[in-house]
A and B are shown apart, each in its own frame.
Chain A
Amino acid sequence: MNNLETELKNIFKNIFKINLNKISKKTNYKNTKNWDSLNHVKLIMAIESKFKLSIDPDQSINFTSFDQIIKYLRKNKLY
């Protein structure tokens, strides 16, 4: 379980250029400076290639926070 969060944290770190220890479940697009539309697309693609899955663009609009993404990945029984 923790593994999933660590992996996702690393992706967040590389795309939004923030420290690992500043990433939590509460991290969302409002409180993250670099979370703009382009980085959002980068985020989706990085998640897709990391977890080998294809995310429906309609679905990806709901990815507004770290927690949301974790929930999605778990709900789809990826971990």
Chain B
Amino acid sequence: MISYDQVLKLNSKKIQKKELLFFKKKRIKFLLNFNFFQLEAYTSYYLKKKFIQSDILSSDFDQVFQQLNSIKKKDNVDLLIVGNDFNFVYDLNKLNIKDFGEKVLSQLELLKKIKKKFVKTEIIFFNVPEILKNYFFYNSFYKNYINQLNYNLKIICDKNNIHLLEYNSLITEIGQKNFYSAKNFYSSKSLLSDEGSDILARSIAKIARSIFFTRKKCLVLDLDNTLWGGVLGEDGIKGLKIGNSYIGNKYLNFQKYIKNLSETGIILAICSKNNFGDVKKCFQENTNLFLKLSDFSVIKANWDPKFKNINEIASELNIGKDSIVFFDDSKFERDQMRKFNPEINVISVPEDVDSYISAIDETAFFYSSKEFTNEDLKKKQQYDLINKAKKFKLKFKSQDTDNYLKSLKMKIYIDKVNDKNFSRCVQMLNKTNQFNFTTNRYTESTFKNYLNQNKIISFVLRLEDKFGDHGITGLITAKIVNQKCIIDNFLLSCRILGRKIEEVLLQELIYKLKLINIKKLIGIYKKTQKNIQCQSFYEKYHFKIINNGKYQLNIEKIPVVKNSLMKVVHE
């Protein structure tokens, strides 16, 4: 924990981290029914630590309803933080918990409206705490009511894309005595102690991080003194500290945590200075290891510098370096990585194994306040498919692309954007960088609004091949304006690039346009650092440049061809 005067001191310092300057300041508004000046200071401190610069808008406390009603579009609020507490704030003897519950629910109704009206505003809402334990009338009725209320809040929030903050659990974590400060409340209506403000601000920052940044994709781990205690080369397979007895159990617990992470769609990789043969043997023979070799998608066990190995990991998995997180107990390796491969996210690993999990958790790199989609959960499987496919590809000579593609026995399923694939579409729009012509980002609600416009055409693509199901991996959406069709979004997930699948989506669109007698197709290319590979695409398919980044195709002259490389199925 950091003390209040320390926070004030650090907040008044000028920014040194370059990363902070890239992004616009986020405008944050607190609406709480207690005084929150400490919380404000702590929040902007922890946001800065997570590379979010904040501009905290002034607001009065204990006027939640009035202020919710007076929010205007020009306020441009990026993040609204709303919460209520009753301990100390209300006279508990007179508190009617049901009235309080109704009040909270009606605030949530208002927030739902705000969310619809101002699509850019994200909302964090606190759930309800328990009544002070030393309160005379404390009984199980209150407890049950509050549990039920919190359960309902969670459901409503999830449904409406509001981020629920587990205020109740935070108090449980550090205890009511530490969380609240009666003295602070009676002297200035600021309910929380320094410790309470600290833990609450951390939690807010974590959610904010997951709102404003996308989730990282891959965790690269070291082996010695990271996944197990001891050094494999020196202590031998039997000498490693891993298992159910002391010290070994710490590492075992960490491995279990990593396994859970991978089940939420994070890809695991090993980058260790060891002999590959030794590592393989160790995973086979040491039955105490909770993680198996098959849990890792890439294994780099050799004596090359790690900053070189990690480049290979990135290219083998076909992901950007900025979506890789590096976890290594050695300060030397971490410093080298920061120096020679600055795009990689390096976690400052603490000395003590007990704190490994909280070190990862703290960064919020892998945190998501939303439910995981099915695609997330299948991700590991899908990256393994790529690896298999890569090995298979090596058998073919380079000129032989078409034959190779044929031998993959690809099947493409085409569908419209519908309820089933909607959340995946939003996810792809926000995650895809390389094969993405416009890199327009949407939230669920903005994308819904976009689709609800007139004359929108959308196709979603799912790929299957001889290795298995790759899931939904492509999207094209276009709108028709003045008898011309403009492609707004055109993207493919990077793990299926290089298979000429983009042709299928384009063909599909052209075919559809022919049916409704539209003759002109316009493609837009917005250059970013990452989508250079799209640059020449439209010209390759006989589009003509109108002006910078805008291409036009006369569809009449384009024949509809049957794709010989893959089978296309309409769902």
Contact = CB atoms under 8 A, between A and B. Distances in A.
**Does B bind A?**
yes
B187 A46 contact: no
A46 B5 contact: yes
Interface residues of B, number: 17
A69 to B, nearest CB: 13
Contacts of B187: 41, 44, 57, 60
B212 to A, nearest CB: 27
Given A41-B37, A42-B37, A49 B183 contact: no
B37 A49 contact: no
Contact of A45 (B4, B6, B12, B186): B4
Contacts, number: 42
A57 B186 contact: yes
Contacts of B8: 11, 14-15, 42, 46
B502 interface: no
A26 interface: no
Contacts of B6: 49
Contacts of B188: 38, 41
B9 A49 contact: no
A49 to B, nearest CB: 4
Contacts of A10: 9
Given A13-B12, A14-B8, A50 B3 contact: yes
Given A57-B186, A57-B187, A45 B9 contact: no
A11 B12 contact: no
Interface in A14-56: 14-15, 17, 38, 41-42, 44-50, 54
Interface in B167-186: 183-184, 186
A57 B185 CA distance: 11
Q: Which of A13, A50, A54 has the most CB of B within 10 A?
A: A50
B32 to A, nearest CB: 15
B90 to A, nearest CB: 21
Nearest to A45: B4
A57 B37 CA distance: 18
A17 to B, nearest CB: 8
B126 to A, nearest CB: 22
Nearest to B188: A41
A11 B5 contact: yes
B222 interface: no
Interface string B181-199: 0011011101000100000
Nearest to A46: B5
Nearest to A17: B12
Given A57-B186, A57-B187, A49 B12 contact: no
B4 A49 contact: yes
B194 A49 contact: yes
Given A38-B37, A41-B187, A14 B9 contact: yes
A79 to B, nearest CB: 16
B38 interface: yes
Interface of B: 3-6, 8-9, 11-12, 37-38, 183-184, 186-188, 190, 194
Given A45-B4, A49-B5, 20 more contacts: A10-B9, A13-B12, A14-B5, A14-B9, A14-B11, A14-B12, A17-B12, A38-B188, A41-B37, A41-B188, A42-B38, A44-B187, A45-B194, A47-B5, A48-B4, A49-B3, A49-B4, A49-B6, A57-B183, A60-B187
Which 5 pairs between the two chains have the least Cβ-Cβ distance? Answer: A50-B5, A46-B5, A41-B188, A14-B8, A49-B3
